[in-house]
Structure 1
Amino acid sequence: MNGVLRFTAGALRQRARPLGRLAAWSAAEALPALLAGQLTARAVDEGFLAGRPGVGLAWLAVLAVAVGVGAIGTFRAYACLGDIVEPVRDDLAHRVVAGALHHSTAAGARPDTAAVARLTHQVEIVRDTFAGLVMVVRGFLFTAGAALLGLLSLTPLVAAVVAVPLAAGLLLFAATLPAMIGRQRAYVRADERLGTEAGAALTGHRDVTACGGQEVVAGRVGRQVDRQAAAERALARMAALRSLSLAVGGWLPLAALLLAAPWLVRSGLTAGAVLGALVYVATGLQPALHALVQGVAGGGLRFAVTLDRILAATTLPAVSRPSPAEAGTPPSPEPSEVPGSGPLPRAELLGVSLRYGAHARPVLDDLHLTLWDGDHLAVVGPSGAGKSTLAAVLAGLLRPQRGVVRLAGSPVDGTGPADLAARRVLIPQEAYVFAGTLRDNLRYLRPDAADAELAAVVERLGLRPLVERLGGLAAGLDPGTLSAGERQLIAAARAYLSPAPLAILDEATCHLDPAAEATVELAFAARPGALVVVAHRISSALRARRVLVLDGGRPRSGRHDQLLAESATYRDLVGHWHGGPDGNRAELAGWAGSTDRRDGADTDPKWIDSLR
Structure 2
Amino acid sequence: MKELTLLLRERWRVVVRLAAWSVLETGQTFLLGYALARALDEGFLSGRAGVGLGWLGIAGAAVLVGAFGTGRVYGGVAALVEPLRDRLVRRVVDRGVREADGGALSGLTQQVEIARDTFAGLVMVSRSFVFTTVGALVGLFSLAPLLLLVVAPPLAAGVALFVATLRPLARRQEEFLVADERLAAHLGAVCPGLRDITAGGAEEHVAADAGQRIDAEVRAARSLAHRGVLRVAALAVGGQLPIVLLLATAPWLLARGVSAGALVGALAYVTQSLLPALQNLVHGLGTSGSRLAVVLRRLGPGIAAPPPATGGIRVPPAAVPSDTPALVLSSLTFAYGPASDPVIKDLDLTVPRGTRLAVVGPSGIGKSTLTGLIAGLLEPRRGTVRLCGHPVPGHTASALRVLIPQEAYVFGGTFEENLTQLRPDPVPGAELLAAAEAVGLAPLLERLGGPFARLDPAALSAGERQLIALTRAYLSYASVVLLDEATCHLDPAAEERAERAFAERAGTTLVVVAHRISSALRADRVLVMDGRRTEYGDHDELLRRSALYRDLVGTWSPTVPASSGAASVPVPAPARRPASDPALPLRDPDGVDPVACPGLARDGGHVVAHGAVGQMETSGDLRDGGAPGGE
- TM-score of the pair, normalised by structure 2: 0.49
Which of 80, 83, 86 is the matching residue for 1:84? 80
Does structure 1 conserve the Cα–Cα contact (< 8 Å) formed by 2:173 and 2:224?
Answer: yes
Q: Hey, what does 1:40 align to over in structure 2?
A: 36
The change in CA–CA distance for 1:207 and 1:183 in structure 2 (over 3 A counts) is: same
The change in CA–CA distance for 1:52 and 1:312 in structure 2 (over 3 A counts) is: same
Structure 1 residue runs of 5 or longer lacking an equivalent are 105-111, 316-354, 366-381, 387-612
Q: Hey, what does 2:94 align to over in structure 1?
A: 98
1:164 Cα deviation after fit:
0.7
Does structure 1 conserve the Cα–Cα contact (< 8 Å) formed by 2:297 and 2:303?
Answer: no
Which of 50, 55, 74 is the matching residue for 1:54? 50
Q: Does residue 1:266 correspond to 2:332, yes or no? A: no
Does structure 2 conserve the Cα–Cα contact (< 8 Å) formed by 1:99 and 1:314?
Answer: no
1:281-303 deviations in Å (ceiling 9; x for gaps): 11111111111111011211111
Query: What is the CA–CA distance in structure 2 between the aligned matches of 1:23 and 1:250, rounded to whole Å?
Result: 24
Code of the residue aligned with 2:428 in structure 1: it is: P
Code of the residue aligned with 1:139 in structure 2: it is: S
Does structure 2 conserve the Cα–Cα contact (< 8 Å) formed by 1:100 and 1:314?
Answer: no
Query: What is the CA–CA distance in structure 2 between the aligned matches of 1:361 and 1:314, rounded to whole Å?
Result: 28
Query: What is the CA–CA distance in structure 2 between the aligned matches of 1:206 and 1:193, rounded to whole Å?
Result: 22
Superposition CA RMSD, Å: 2.1
Does structure 2 conserve the Cα–Cα contact (< 8 Å) formed by 1:96 and 1:314?
Answer: no
Q: Hey, what does 1:118 align to over in structure 2?
A: 107
Give matches, 1:418-429, under 5 Å.
Answer: none
1:90-145 deviations in Å (ceiling 9; x for gaps): 001111111222223xxxxxxx1111101110000000000000110100110111
Give matches, 1:556-567, under 5 Å.
Answer: none
Query: What is the CA–CA distance in structure 2 between the aligned matches of 1:181 and 1:361, rounded to whole Å?
Result: 41
Structure 2 residue runs of 5 or longer lacking an equivalent are 305-418, 432-447, 453-631
Q: Hey, what does 1:335 align to over in structure 2?
A: none
Does structure 2 conserve the Cα–Cα contact (< 8 Å) formed by 1:95 and 1:314?
Answer: no
1:362 Cα deviation after fit:
2.5
Query: What is the CA–CA distance in structure 1 between the aligned matches of 2:236 and 2:67, rounded to whole Å?
Result: 28
Query: What is the CA–CA distance in structure 2 between the aligned matches of 1:67 and 1:272, rounded to whole Å?
Result: 20
1:185 Cα deviation after fit:
0.6
Q: Hey, what does 1:63 align to over in structure 2?
A: 59
Q: Hey, what does 1:292 align to over in structure 2?
A: 281
Q: Hey, what does 1:311 align to over in structure 2?
A: 300
User: Max radius of gyration: which structure?
Assistant: 2
1:313 Cα deviation after fit:
4.1
Q: Does residue 1:173 correspond to 2:173, yes or no? A: no
Does structure 2 conserve the Cα–Cα contact (< 8 Å) formed by 1:151 and 1:277?
Answer: yes
Q: Hey, what does 1:461 align to over in structure 2?
A: none
Query: What is the CA–CA distance in structure 1 between the aligned matches of 2:427 and 2:207, rounded to whole Å?
Result: 31
Q: Does residue 1:237 correspond to 2:226, yes or no? A: yes
Q: Hey, what does 1:425 align to over in structure 2?
A: none
Query: What is the CA–CA distance in structure 1 between the aligned matches of 2:425 and 2:76, rounded to whole Å?
Result: 59
Give matches, 1:529-544, under 5 Å.
Answer: none
1:361 Cα deviation after fit:
5.1
1:358 Cα deviation after fit:
5.9
Q: Hey, what does 1:589 align to over in structure 2?
A: none
Query: What is the CA–CA distance in structure 1 between the aligned matches of 2:294 and 2:276, rounded to whole Å?
Result: 26
Equivalent residue of 2:428, what SS? Answer: coil
Query: What is the CA–CA distance in structure 1 between the aligned matches of 2:68 and 2:91, rounded to whole Å?
Result: 36
Code of the residue aligned with 2:186 in structure 1: it is: E
Give matches, 1:65-464, under 5 Å.
Answer: 65-104=61-100, 112-313=101-302, 362-363=428-429
Equivalent residue of 2:187, what SS? Answer: helix
Query: What is the CA–CA distance in structure 2 between the aligned matches of 1:251 and 1:361, rounded to whole Å?
Result: 65
Query: What is the CA–CA distance in structure 1 between the aligned matches of 2:110 and 2:135, rounded to whole Å?
Result: 37
Does structure 2 conserve the Cα–Cα contact (< 8 Å) formed by 1:21 and 1:80?
Answer: yes
Q: Percent identity?
A: 48
Query: What is the CA–CA distance in structure 1 between the aligned matches of 2:275 and 2:118, rounded to whole Å?
Result: 22
Query: What is the CA–CA distance in structure 2 between the aligned matches of 1:144 and 1:274, rounded to whole Å?
Result: 18
The change in CA–CA distance for 1:57 and 1:114 in structure 2 (over 3 A counts) is: same
1:364 Cα deviation after fit:
7.2
Query: What is the CA–CA distance in structure 2 between the aligned matches of 1:241 and 1:152, rounded to whole Å?
Result: 30
The change in CA–CA distance for 1:52 and 1:7 in structure 2 (over 3 A counts) is: same
Code of the residue aligned with 2:32 in structure 1: it is: A
1:279 Cα deviation after fit:
1.1
Q: Hey, what does 2:367 align to over in structure 1?
A: none
1:385 Cα deviation after fit:
9.4
Does structure 2 conserve the Cα–Cα contact (< 8 Å) formed by 1:130 and 1:303?
Answer: yes
Query: What is the CA–CA distance in structure 1 between the aligned matches of 2:267 and 2:200, rounded to whole Å?
Result: 71
Query: What is the CA–CA distance in structure 1 between the aligned matches of 2:426 and 2:208, rounded to whole Å?
Result: 28
Q: Does residue 1:29 correspond to 2:25, yes or no? A: yes
Does structure 1 conserve the Cα–Cα contact (< 8 Å) formed by 2:126 and 2:281?
Answer: yes
The change in CA–CA distance for 1:34 and 1:361 in structure 2 (over 3 A counts) is: closer
Code of the residue aligned with 2:237 in structure 1: it is: V
1:447-497 deviations in Å (ceiling 9; x for gaps): xxxxxxxxxxxxxxxxxxxxxxxxxxxxxxxxxxxxxxxxxxxxxxxxxxx
Equivalent residue of 1:30, what SS? Answer: helix
Number of aligned residues: 320
1:359 Cα deviation after fit:
6.4
Query: What is the CA–CA distance in structure 1 between the aligned matches of 2:266 and 2:15, rounded to whole Å?
Result: 31
Query: What is the CA–CA distance in structure 2 between the aligned matches of 1:305 and 1:76, rounded to whole Å?
Result: 30
Code of the residue aligned with 1:276 in structure 2: it is: G
Code of the residue aligned with 2:58 in structure 1: it is: V
Does structure 1 conserve the Cα–Cα contact (< 8 Å) formed by 2:35 and 2:59?
Answer: yes
Equivalent residue of 2:15, what SS? Answer: helix
Query: What is the CA–CA distance in structure 2 between the aligned matches of 1:255 and 1:29, rounded to whole Å?
Result: 28
Equivalent residue of 2:249, what SS? Answer: helix
Query: What is the CA–CA distance in structure 1 between the aligned matches of 2:120 and 2:104, rounded to whole Å?
Result: 22
1:208 Cα deviation after fit:
0.5
Query: What is the CA–CA distance in structure 2 between the aligned matches of 1:291 and 1:242, rounded to whole Å?
Result: 12
Code of the residue aligned with 1:100 in structure 2: it is: G
1:512-555 deviations in Å (ceiling 9; x for gaps): xxxxxxxxxxxxxxxxxxxxxxxxxxxxxxxxxxxxxxxxxxxx
Equivalent residue of 1:49, what SS? Answer: helix
Code of the residue aligned with 1:67 in structure 2: it is: V
1:161-194 deviations in Å (ceiling 9; x for gaps): 2111111011111111121111101100110110
Query: What is the CA–CA distance in structure 1 between the aligned matches of 2:214 and 2:424, rounded to whole Å?
Result: 29
Does structure 1 conserve the Cα–Cα contact (< 8 Å) formed by 2:43 and 2:49?
Answer: yes
1:587-609 deviations in Å (ceiling 9; x for gaps): xxxxxxxxxxxxxxxxxxxxxxx
Code of the residue aligned with 2:89 in structure 1: it is: A
Structure showing the higher helix proportion among its residues:
1
Query: What is the CA–CA distance in structure 2 between the aligned matches of 1:66 and 1:278, rounded to whole Å?
Result: 19
Code of the residue aligned with 1:102 in structure 2: it is: R
1:261 Cα deviation after fit:
1.1
1:160 Cα deviation after fit:
2.3
1:238 Cα deviation after fit:
2.1
Does structure 1 conserve the Cα–Cα contact (< 8 Å) formed by 2:240 and 2:275?
Answer: yes
1:199 Cα deviation after fit:
1.0
Q: Hey, what does 1:427 align to over in structure 2?
A: none
Query: What is the CA–CA distance in structure 1 between the aligned matches of 2:51 and 2:426, rounded to whole Å?
Result: 91
- TM-score of the pair, normalised by structure 1: 0.50
Which of 5, 9, 24 is the matching residue for 1:13? 9
Code of the residue aligned with 1:295 in structure 2: it is: G
Equivalent residue of 2:47, what SS? Answer: coil
Query: What is the CA–CA distance in structure 2 between the aligned matches of 1:358 and 1:92, rounded to whole Å?
Result: 34
